[in-house]
Amino acid sequence: MQFSLDNVAGQLVGIVKLEGRLDTHNSKSFQKNFTEWLEKTALQVFDCAELDFIDSSGLGVIVGCLRKALEKEGDLKLSGLNEKVAMVFELTQAKKLFSIFSNSREAVASFGNAPDSPKKR
Cβ-based burial of 94 (10 A; exposed 0-12, middle 13-18, buried ≥19): middle
Contact 101, 107 (CB under 8 A): yes
| pLDDT band per the 50, 70, 90 thresholds, residue 93 | very high
Residue 120 lies in a domain: no
In a domain, 117, yes or no: no
Query: Global pTM?
Result: 0.89
Contact 71, 38 (CB under 8 A): no
Is residue 19 in a domain?
A: yes
pLDDT at 113 over 80: no
pLDDT tens readout for residues 9-60? 889 999 999 999 999 999 999 999 999 999 999 999 999 999 999 999 999 9
Residue at 60 is within a domain: yes
Range of the domain at 22: 2-111
Q: Is residue 42 part of a domain?
A: yes
Domain count, the chain: 1
Q: Is residue 45 part of a domain?
A: yes
Q: What percent of the chain has pLDDT over 70?
A: 93
Is beta strand 11-22 parallel, antiparallel or unpaired with respect to 43-54? parallel
Q: Give the per-residue pLDDT at 121.
A: 37
Q: Is residue 79 part of a domain?
A: yes
pLDDT tier at 114 (50, 70, 90 boundaries)? low
Please state, in angstroms and rounded to a whole number, the distance separating the CA atoms of residues 26 and 3: 16
Q: Is residue 10 part of a domain?
A: yes
Confidence of residue 8 (pLDDT cuts 50, 70, 90): confident
In this structure, what CATH number is given to the domain that contains residue 78? 3.30.750.24
Mean of pLDDT values over 77-106: 96
